[in-house]
């Protein structure tokens, strides 16, 4: 459960200040599939970083599962991320020269999960994104873009987070592969009940979500349910 | 993060760029290797000096004739040229000074020694059987001469291994052989054990004959070149030295100690001087090698800083999926420690090998001590921590968002 009240973010780079977010207020219930849509530079990534506890807002209150997280230290934020949050990035961000399985296992390593439990969890996550088993031992840099993004999604799911953030997950993929990835998100939301917050600048991609929040110049300009969810 | 995870991550990271890891490690290898080799050379020198001095005999006082000066005479006749020490002085020391375990008067000179077709010029020492105790002489074969030989002025001799090599190259049993010293026939009684020699004053290139034989047939005088005295305990060396000085001054009718016609040298003074010189030598060699180790350490730091910059995005990702500062800094620290530790292992092996080669082919005495090996490992690990600390800290403090945005 996410609750944002009047959240703002101002970046200071020496003298010039950039207001990337100004007064965003909304909430997301558990199990929702939300798309945050807006043109490039509108503040989508900034919002995701704050919601995903990678960054703190400069103003307003952010409650995650009813708890104010604006005063946590860097390491405390990391602990909450391990327990509740998974990330999928536009550029996949897999560790090169490292096997698929090891990449997926990595959050468990930092989460202090005992070695004996890791393998099963990583395998479950890879099966959930339908990643072919014969490639589990391949090195990440030997995969295609679509395969890399599946591995990245599996990595985001491996600690069974309640919240999954995806920042332009189809941005580096061709349309066909992008559709497959979006379908994977859909299924995870429907079948496993993960809350998914999807960030995109493409209306076509946003249509996979149940609710679309539109943001422009750091402000929310519309927030409405998606009446025509794509089901192809 | 488990220890085994850190090991795994470290090996993946180091193997990812083998050439760079190898070259960086080479700096440490050379540093540690030269520290080990240099200290081995220094300690080898120290050990051989100490061994040699110990082999002359411990608790030893050596009394030599000094500058014989009669009142008004200002020109010195030079050391050893005086006739100030006599056998009677030696006997007086033996009977009047307490806590001495042995007293050995001796006279030496260089003579031509001939046997059959071979000949050599060597040092001939005329002395008494007590010399064996005082100077720790051991016999390889045969026996030393006795007091009876001295009383009878027998023409017998004991030879050192170098003389044996010159005169009887292929024989082990030299007892009964004839040699001519200064044109006079002597019968060889025995052969001494080699003490190893370096420098000019070799204990191996020597012939021992009875004192009175030497006085009659070789030197033609009663003057001694030296009286060697062994004191029964190290702690009373100074006392014994003072007692002997007092006795000899009285016997020679000298009032002022400054104009004494003899000099007493204390074995422990010689050892101390020699070892302080070799210690300085070791320290100097170690310091030179230490500088190359420092350069190696800076190489590590340089590589780690480059690595941190190159892997900024990776660090950002690790943080995003839950790595804490501690996890990141440990990972980078363990990379630098792994480099220095492996470099240390290889360096110790190479340094050890270099020391062995120096001894084998360069004739340089070396001694690799366990302490210097342990120290080398410790130092290399510490260098890894010191020079890895700053890059690791820099990595750990990266802001995850900035790191993920880094191009
Ligand atoms: N770390 C930062 N420092 C300074 N300005 C930033 C930083 N991150 C983003 N911005 C600025 O904030 C605005 C919103 O950026 P962002 O959230 O990345 O937008 P989007 O993801 O919608 O493209 C942009 O003007 C961008 O230049
Ligand atoms: Mg963005």
pLDDT tens per residue across span B313-351: 999 999 999 999 999 999 999 999 999 999 999 999 999
Tell me if B314 and A95 make a contact (CB, 8 A cut-off): yes
Q: What distances in angstroms separate CA B93 from CA B89, B127, B183, B249, one per listed residue?
A: 6, 16, 34, 12
Q: What ranges in B311-367 are assigned the alpha helix state H?
A: 312-320, 325-362
Q: Is A8 in the pocket of ligand 1 (CB under 6 A)?
A: no
Residue B82 pLDDT class (50, 70, 90 cuts): low
**Quick check: B205 and B176 in contact, CB under 8 A?**
no
* Higher pLDDT, residue B312 or B274: B312
pLDDT tens for residues B221-271? 888 999 999 998 878 888 899 999 999 999 988 888 888 888 888 876 777
Within a domain: A192:
yes
Contact residues, chain A, for B327 at CB < 8 Å: 110
Q: Is A17 in the pocket of ligand 1 (CB under 6 A)?
A: no
Nearest ligand to residue A47 Cα = 1
pLDDT, position B79: 44
pLDDT, position B67: 59
Neighbours of B393 (CB within 10 A): 15
The rounded distance, in Å, linking the Cα atoms of A227 and A163 is 23
User: Can you give the pTM of this predicted structure?
Assistant: 0.73
Within a domain: A132:
yes
β pairing state of A163-167 and A195-200: parallel
Give the range of the structural domain holding residue A85, as residue numbers without chain letter.
Answer: 2-225
pLDDT tens for residues A98-129? 999 999 999 999 999 999 999 999 999 999 99
> Into how many domains does chain A fold?
1
Mean pLDDT for all residues in chain B:
87
Within a domain: A193:
yes
Contact residues, chain A, for B325 at CB < 8 Å: 74-75
Q: Count of alpha carbons within 13 Å of A118, Cβ hemisphere only? A: 19
pLDDT at B199 over 60: no
Q: If you average pLDDT over residues B278-283, what whole number do you get? A: 84
Q: Atom 3, ligand 1: which residue's CA is nearest?
A: A11
pLDDT at B197 over 70: no
Within a domain: A195:
yes
Contact residues, chain A, for B329 at CB < 8 Å: none
Q: Which residues contact B81 (CB under 8 A, 6 or more apart)?
A: B65, B68
Tell me if A93 and B313 make a contact (CB, 8 A cut-off): yes
pLDDT at B191 over 80: yes
Block residue for tokens 């391990």: A82
Evaluated on CA atoms B250, B251, B253, B254, the torsion sign reads: negative
3-state secondary structure A45-75: HHHHHHHCCCCCCCEEEEEECCEECCCCCHH
Within a domain: A232:
no
Q: What are the residues facing B157 on neighbouring strands?
A: B188
Within a domain: A230:
no
Q: Count of alpha carbons within 13 Å of B270, Cβ hemisphere only? A: 18
pLDDT, position B56: 66
Q: Atom 16, ligand 1: which residue's CA is nearest?
A: A43
pLDDT at B2 over 90: no
Nearest CA in chain A to B319: A78
> Domain of A53: which CATH number?
3.40.50.300
Within a domain: A231:
no
Interface predicted TM-score of the whole assembly (ipTM), two decimals:
0.93
Residues in chain A where the model's pLDDT stays below 70: none
Within a domain: A213:
yes
């Amino acid at each position: 459960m996410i609750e944002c009240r009047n959240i703002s973010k101002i970046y200071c780079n020496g003298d010039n200040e950039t207001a990337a977010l100004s007064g965003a207020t909304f909430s997301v219930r558990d199990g929702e599939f939300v798309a945050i849509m807006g043109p490039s530079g509108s503040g989508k990534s900034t919002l995701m970083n704050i919601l995903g506890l990678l960054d703190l807002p400069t103003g307003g209150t952010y409650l995650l599962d009813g708890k104010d997280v604006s005063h946590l230290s860097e390491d405390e934020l990391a602990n909450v991320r391990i327990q509740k949050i998974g990330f999928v990035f536009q550029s996949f961000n897999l560790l090169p020269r490292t096997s698929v399985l090891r990449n997926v296992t990595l959050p468990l390593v930092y989460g202090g999960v005992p070695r004996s439990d890791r393998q099963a969890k990583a395998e479950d996550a890879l099966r959930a994104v339908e990643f072919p088993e014969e490639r589990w031992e391949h090195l990440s840099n030997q995969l295609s873009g679509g395969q890399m993004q599946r591995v990245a999604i599996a990595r985001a799911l491996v600690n069974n987070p309640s919240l999954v953030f995806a920042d332009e997950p189809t941005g580096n993929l061709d349309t066909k592969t992008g559709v497959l990835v979006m379908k994977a998100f859909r299924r995870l939301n429907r079948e496993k009940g993960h809350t998914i917050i999807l960030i995109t600048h493409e209306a076509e991609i946003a249509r996979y979500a149940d609710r679309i929040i539109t943001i422009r110049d750091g402000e929310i300009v519309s927030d409405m349910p998606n009446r025509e969810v794509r089901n192809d | 993060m488990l220890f085994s995870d850190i090991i795994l991550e470290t090996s993946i990271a180091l193997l990812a760029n083998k050439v760079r890891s190898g070259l960086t490690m080479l700096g440490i290898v050379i540093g540690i290797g030269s520290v080990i080799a240099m200290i081995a050379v220094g300690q080898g020198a120290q050990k051989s000096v100490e061994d040699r001095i110990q082999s002359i005999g411990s608790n030893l006082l050596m009394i030599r004739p000094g500058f014989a000066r009669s009142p008004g005479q200002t020109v010195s006749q030079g050391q050893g040229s005086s006739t100030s020490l006599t056998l009677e002085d030696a006997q007086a020391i033996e009977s009047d000074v307490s806590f001495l375990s042995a007293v050995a008067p001796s006279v030496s000179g260089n003579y031509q020694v001939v046997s059959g077709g071979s000949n050599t010029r060597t040092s001939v020492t005329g002395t008494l059987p007590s010399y064996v105790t005082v100077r720790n002489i051991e016999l390889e074969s045969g026996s030393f001469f006795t007091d009876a030989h001295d009383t009878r002025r027998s023409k017998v001799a004991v030879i050192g291994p170098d003389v044996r090599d010159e005169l009887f190259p292929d024989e082990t049993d030299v007892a009964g052989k004839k040699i001519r010293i200064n044109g006079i026939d002597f019968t060889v009684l025995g052969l001494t054990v080699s003490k190893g020699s370096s420098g000019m004053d070799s204990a191996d290139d020597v012939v021992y004959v009875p004192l009175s034989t030497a006085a009659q047939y070789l030197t033609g005088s009663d003057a001694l070149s030296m009286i060697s005295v062994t004191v029964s305990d190290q702690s009373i060396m100074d006392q014994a030295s003072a007692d002997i000085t007092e006795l000899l001054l009285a016997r020679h009718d000298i009032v002022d100690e400054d104009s004494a016609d003899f000099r007493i040298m204390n074995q422990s003074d010689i050892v101390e001087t020699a070892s302080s010189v070799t210690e300085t030598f070791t320290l100097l060699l170690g310091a030179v090698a230490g500088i190359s180790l420092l350069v190696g350490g800076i190489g590590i730091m340089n590589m780690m800083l480059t690595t941190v910059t190159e892997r900024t995005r990776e660090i950002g990702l690790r943080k995003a999926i839950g790595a804490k500062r501690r996890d990141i800094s440990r990972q980078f620290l363990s990379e630098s420690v792994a480099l220095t530790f492996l470099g240390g292992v290889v360096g110790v092996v190479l340094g050890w090998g270099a020391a062995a080669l120096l001894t084998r082919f360069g004739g340089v005495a070396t001694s690799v001590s366990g302490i210097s090996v342990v120290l080398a490992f410790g130092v290399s690990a510490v260098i890894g921590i010191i020079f890895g600390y700053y890059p690791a800290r820099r990595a750990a403090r990266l802001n995850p968002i900035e790191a993920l945005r880094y191009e």
